[in-house]
Structure 1
Amino acid sequence: MKNIYDPNYVKKLFNHMAGSYERMNYITSFGFSIRWRKQFLKKLGNSNNDLKVIDLLSGLGENWVYLHKNFPNAQFSALDFSEKMVDSSRNKAKKIFKGNLHLICENILHNHLPSDYYDIISCAYGLKTFNTEQLEILAKEITRILKKGGSFSFVEVSRPENKWIYFFYKFYLGKVIPVLGKLFLGDPNDYKMLWIYTEQFQNSRSVKDIFEKNGLIVSYDRYFLGCASGISGWKE
């Protein structure tokens, strides 16, 4: 049986979805992915200072417009281990940052990022692809690379707690989205995995516990009746 948390499997999945992922994220969330993105990034505040900002699991760069607007004088970095996601995001990087972006193709769980370096860390829709052991490593890495007083915010699509919303959400993500994937992309299997990951992940409460255990100050954040959740906080 395949290990859906094997980094090689996850990388292959996202390499295959690179051409359609931003569009399908919008469709799978009924457009709420953009609203949740704005809400989770708002928790980082805004500043005109010369900060160091990194967007983790950066995908196609969907966070970048908002990060650049909120931190106009920052030094920006972005990290993702999917080569095709990184390559597909290069044009957006040039358009938004005019060359002021260090784009890194590495696995966050095994990286060469500097310690005690970043003031701001953002990450959207990547938590669900980690198992508990990997989340422990992620928390340690966030603690290591974040400056004292630095802030972080994560968001993830989640399993709704309301049973009626859950029933509809499960049907939509589990049945309808794979059909759309087949119609638009010719392959339903990749997008079927989005619900499988979401069902396994449930929500960000366990992530909050893991990050707190690693010495971070963490709040649990809930969006639209639990259809998305996240964590935000800082390093003392």
Structure 2
Amino acid sequence: MTLSPKNTDVKSLFDTIAPEYDKMNNIISLGSHKKWRQKVMNKMVFPNEAQIIDLATGTADWAIALAENSDVKTKIVGLDFSEAMLAVGQTKVDLSDYSEKITLVQGDVMALDLPDNRFDIVTIGFGLRNLPDPKKGIDEMYRILKPGGQLVILETSQPDSPVVKPFWQLYFGHVMPLFGRVFAKGKYREYKYLDETTENFMDYMTLGQVLLKAGFQKVRISRFNLGAAAAHYATK
């Protein structure tokens, strides 16, 4: 059992919400998560015949998008610890044009059963805040990246504007869990937990410092929607 700092069984939680996860993502983010991912990928450099891993891949949206944006010989691994999320993702991969490029596997981001210096690119989208120990996960990302390889983290964040922040807190603290109750078969508790991970996760500047302390270089940060999300780019 993988427990969050709030002693939530995170794997079980994501197994529970897997059937509605994609629908809820679109509702909660008002479709913005797809635009954020595309903006991030527009800033990435895709080597020819790259080896890419998307950690906490969930239902494989980013793995499929990475396949679409890379050359035909690139290989992508999508890793997640939830069997139910991966099952939904596998169906999407099988129906896509990229099934030969993408392999989905089950695993723990904080203890990857992968060799050192394996990948040209490591991505993680909206998954870092759900790790019981994000710093341990970041150390693993550093380990499996090739020297000169790229790390890209896309994550929810907190606005720092005193005008915007109260509305952000209202939305994530009350509206989002209500959506879980209305649109996700009564899953108020699960979406309340996801709100709490967003509110309590480190801010974008702190995450940048954690990346530097882990050994990453050339850390760059982009923010979206008045600070509701942030992308961190770094090089090993």
TM-score (norm 2): 0.90
Q: Partner of 2:63 in structure 1? A: 64
Measured after TM superposition, the shift of residue 46 of structure 1 is: 3.4
Structure 1 segments, 4+ long, off by >4 Å, are: none
Q: 5 Å matches for 1:156-235?
A: 156-184=155-183, 185-217=185-217, 218-235=219-236
Instruction: For 2:13, give the aligned amino acid.
Output: L
Q: Which runs of 5+ in 2 are unaligned?
A: none
Could you tell me how far apart the structure 2 residues matched to 1:28 and 1:91 are? 23
Could you tell me how far apart the structure 2 residues matched to 1:77 and 1:14 are? 20
In angstroms, what is the RMSD of aligned CA positions?
Answer: 1.8
Measured after TM superposition, the shift of residue 94 of structure 1 is: 1.8
Taking a change above 3 Å as real, the CA distance of residues 202 and 214 of structure 1, as seen in their structure-2 partners, is closer
1:111-159: CA deviation from partner (whole Å, max 9, x where unpaired): 201210100111110121135xx22211211111000111111111111
Aligned residue for 2:115, secondary structure, equals coil
Q: Partner of 1:141 in structure 2? A: 140
Measured after TM superposition, the shift of residue 44 of structure 1 is: 1.8
CA contact (8 A) 2:51 2:119 kept: yes
Segment drifting more, 165-174 vs 140-149: 165-174
Could you tell me how far apart the structure 1 residues matched to 2:82 and 2:6 are? 13
Could you tell me how far apart the structure 2 residues matched to 1:30 and 1:202 are? 23
Q: Partner of 1:107 in structure 2? A: 108
Measured after TM superposition, the shift of residue 99 of structure 1 is: 3.2
- 1:52 equivalent in alignment to 2:51: yes
Instruction: For 1:101, give the aligned amino acid.
Output: I
Q: Partner of 2:150 in structure 1? A: 151
Measured after TM superposition, the shift of residue 7 of structure 1 is: 8.3
1:12-69: CA deviation from partner (whole Å, max 9, x where unpaired): 111111111122122212221111111222232234x111011110001111332112
Taking a change above 3 Å as real, the CA distance of residues 57 and 113 of structure 1, as seen in their structure-2 partners, is same
Count of aligned positions: 230
- 1:126 equivalent in alignment to 2:127: yes
Segment drifting more, 49-58 vs 200-209: 200-209
Could you tell me how far apart the structure 2 residues matched to 1:198 and 1:111 are? 24
Could you tell me how far apart the structure 2 residues matched to 1:204 and 1:170 are? 17
Aligned residue for 1:98, secondary structure, equals coil
Could you tell me how far apart the structure 1 residues matched to 2:51 and 2:187 are? 39
Could you tell me how far apart the structure 1 residues matched to 2:28 and 2:134 are? 24
Instruction: For 2:177, give the aligned amino acid.
Output: P
Segment drifting more, 202-211 vs 172-181: 202-211
CA contact (8 A) 2:177 2:195 kept: no
Taking a change above 3 Å as real, the CA distance of residues 186 and 6 of structure 1, as seen in their structure-2 partners, is closer
Could you tell me how far apart the structure 2 residues matched to 1:6 and 1:87 are? 27
Taking a change above 3 Å as real, the CA distance of residues 142 and 71 of structure 1, as seen in their structure-2 partners, is same
Q: Partner of 1:29 in structure 2? A: 29
Instruction: For 2:53, give the aligned amino acid.
Output: I
CA contact (8 A) 1:118 1:147 kept: yes
Segment drifting more, 153-162 vs 21-30: 21-30
